[in-house]
Structure 1
Amino acid sequence: ALVEGLRKRMAKREFADADAMLAALRGELVELLVPVAQPLRIDATKQPFVIL
């Protein structure tokens, strides 16, 4: 859905250049991620702590 929306906007010539399209992509990604963003909580009692 994200890429399809950007393709439709490209077809309508909504972007002046590649930088404008990248800015729109960043904005769309932020809109998707902000509602589910959570701070990283590290429990020091559970070791080793590994981030993949």
Structure 2
Amino acid sequence: MLLIANVPARLLVRKLGSPFDMLLLLGMAVICLLVSEGIWRLSVRHYTSASS
């Protein structure tokens, strides 16, 4: 939540320190995306319907 709240605010006031900060944030976003995608696929694979 902290990443989601602070980054847009910093971008609006242009207070990100360096291009490295942007690359770090992009890398963190990609990692979060890959982890959530993996959890989603694992969950769907093990899903069983309650009505079946």
TM bucket (normalised to shorter chain) is 0.3 to 0.5
Larger Rg computed on CA atoms: 1
Question: TM-score, structure 1 length as denominator?
Answer: 0.36
Q: Tell me which of the two structures has the higher relative contact order, counting C-alpha pairs closer than 8 angstroms and 6 or more residues apart.
A: 1
Higher helix share: 2
Question: TM-score, structure 2 length as denominator?
Answer: 0.36
